[in-house]
A and B are shown apart, each in its own frame.
Chain A
Amino acid sequence: MQPAITTESALASIQEKMAACMQCGVCTGSCPNAFAMDLTPRQLWRLVLAGRTEDVFRSHTFFLCSQCFRCTLRCPRGLQPTEAMSELKHLAYRSGWFERSESVVFYRYFLESVRRHGRVHELELMSRYFTAMRNPVLPFRFASLGIRLIGRGKLAIMPSAEGCRDLGALFRKVDEMEKRL
């Protein structure tokens, strides 16, 4: 287990953000993803505020936030639940607990593509994602789309040379700053 999550302070900044939550459930009622979540957003905030770290990260609810920001605009307390969801995703990403999670793997390769080329190279991203997930069904969900996109010349085989910028130095600098902050 990585220290990022097990320490008591891991949830502290999220607890601070959500401290005024009165459990009204407007977030749950507004959430287009609630149907697919194991815990509703309202239930998740209760667990966060109670400091039940393990229960929070045993749930996949925060991975299912699609950042539509409905709850943020509707929260009668003026809280920012979408931001809090992002912080949970970030903690999960850093924790090392979710190395097999589709979200973590997908976004890792996404950023890898940005770091190397400056822009996302869709074909490279998807092929590395499929390889890393080692789920034989996964590529088939996208096979017909891939063929149609390639047929229309919409998926470049190679990243565009014109747009290519190596962002390695910037990424390293951000890493270094994050350790300090």
Chain B
Amino acid sequence: MKYRYYPGCSLEGSAREYDISTRAVMAALGVELLELEGWTCCGASAADFASRLLSLILPARNLALAEAAGEPWTLMVPCSACYLNLRRVTETIRSKPGTKELLNEALAVDGLQMSGTVSVRHLLDILSRDIGASAVRAIVRKPLSGLRIAPYYGCQCLRPYPVFDDSEAPTSMEPIIEATGASVFRWHMAGACCGASHINTHHDAALVMIGAILEDAAGADAIVTVCPMCQLNLEAFQHRVRTEGARRIDIPVLYLPQLIGLAAGLSPKQLGLELNLSKPLAVV
């Protein structure tokens, strides 16, 4: 299996361990990742603010690069916000006539053009549907028995495009978690919103939302995420949220590939575990 790989800005910075562990685990699974050369920012939620057109053109630039690069035609995206923005381009081209021409007029400035042949897929989509839990189980060397893992999906890998999972009651991570030997911690906040960039612009509101998620995870050994924004919010502000009875929250927040990698016997260094801000998982 081969995929074109779009890491996105966070995976070069505050979410470096997501990039490191994704590459390591994909290699262990025998999946080849070809990084998209010359990729640029997807626009995050900023482009939407400033210009509706720019919010399509910034991700479209990357789809044009992916087309020019040729096979493989599937773009794997680990960041949920990048995934949404890139996916929105292909969905808009399909639903709004004239969009492609508009995008190509702008992209011509950079000598690029796109026709919409690249398929945009989230890392979790590929892990759960292409690779599958049995292939994950096949690389497990150190089963994570006894650990209760809370799967946290957040929003944008599920909504507004419910492509690979149920947008209200997601389950796609569960077979993967079970394949590592751990058990799934049942909770209510799996698909809740962490507030995303509210942490920068509406700090106090974000802390309330993060607090509600973390409180619901009480009893789990770790939270596992598939989005750099969710992960940073849940791990970096743990000690800042107000909890009932002023209880101090201290829970490891890992990326899903880090969990798989641990079960596969990869070293903490290979999974970038020393880069996480939350406390280490008990087995490490």
Contact residues of A with B, CB < 8 Å?
Answer: 32-33, 35-36, 63-64, 66-70, 72-73, 80, 82, 86-87, 89-90, 93, 102-104, 106-108, 110-111, 114, 118-122, 126, 129, 141, 145, 148-149, 152-156, 160, 163, 165, 167, 169-175, 177-178, 181
For B57, give its contact among A69, A120, A145, A174 (CB under 8 Å): A174
Chain B nearest CB from A5 CB (Å) reads: 15
Q: Given known contacts A114-B46, A177-B102, is B195 in contact with A66 (CB within 8 Å)?
A: yes
Find the residue from A89, A118, A119, A155 having the highest chain B CB count within 10 A. A119
State whether A72 touches B159 (Cβ < 8 A).
Answer: yes
A residues less than 8 Å from B106 (CB atoms):
170, 173-174, 177
State whether B14 touches A90 (Cβ < 8 A).
Answer: no
Q: Given known contacts A68-B159, A177-B53, is B40 in contact with A114 (CB within 8 Å)?
A: yes
For B110, give its contact among A160, A169, A175 (CB under 8 Å): A169
Chain B nearest CB from A26 CB (Å) reads: 13
Q: Given known contacts A119-B9, A178-B53, is B110 in contact with A73 (CB within 8 Å)?
A: no
Other than the known A70-B159, A119-B40, A154-B14, what 13 A-B pairs have Cβ atoms closer than 8 Å? Answer: A32-B193, A66-B196, A67-B196, A103-B201, A107-B49, A110-B46, A114-B41, A119-B12, A119-B39, A120-B9, A120-B10, A163-B39, A174-B106
Contact residues of B with A, CB < 8 Å?
Answer: 9-10, 12-14, 16, 38-41, 43-54, 57-58, 61, 102, 105-107, 109-110, 155-156, 159-160, 162, 167-168, 192-193, 195-198, 200-205, 208-209, 236-237, 274-275, 277
State the CA gap A163–B35 with chains docked (Å).
Answer: 12
State the CA gap A82–B208 with chains docked (Å).
Answer: 21
For B236, give its contact among A32, A89, A121, A148 (CB under 8 Å): A148
For A154, give its contact among B40, B43, B61, B275 (CB under 8 Å): B275
State whether A118 touches B41 (Cβ < 8 A).
Answer: yes
Chain B nearest CB from A22 CB (Å) reads: 21
State whether B202 touches A90 (Cβ < 8 A).
Answer: no
B residues less than 8 Å from A90 (CB atoms):
48-52
A-B contact pairs, 25 of them (CB 8 A): A32-B193, A36-B202, A63-B201, A63-B202, A72-B159, A82-B160, A90-B50, A93-B49, A107-B45, A110-B44, A114-B40, A114-B43, A118-B40, A119-B41, A120-B10, A121-B13, A129-B200, A149-B13, A152-B274, A154-B275, A163-B12, A169-B109, A171-B54, A173-B109, A174-B54
Chain A nearest CB from B79 CB (Å) reads: 12
B residues less than 8 Å from A32 (CB atoms):
192-193, 195, 209
State whether B160 touches A154 (Cβ < 8 A).
Answer: no
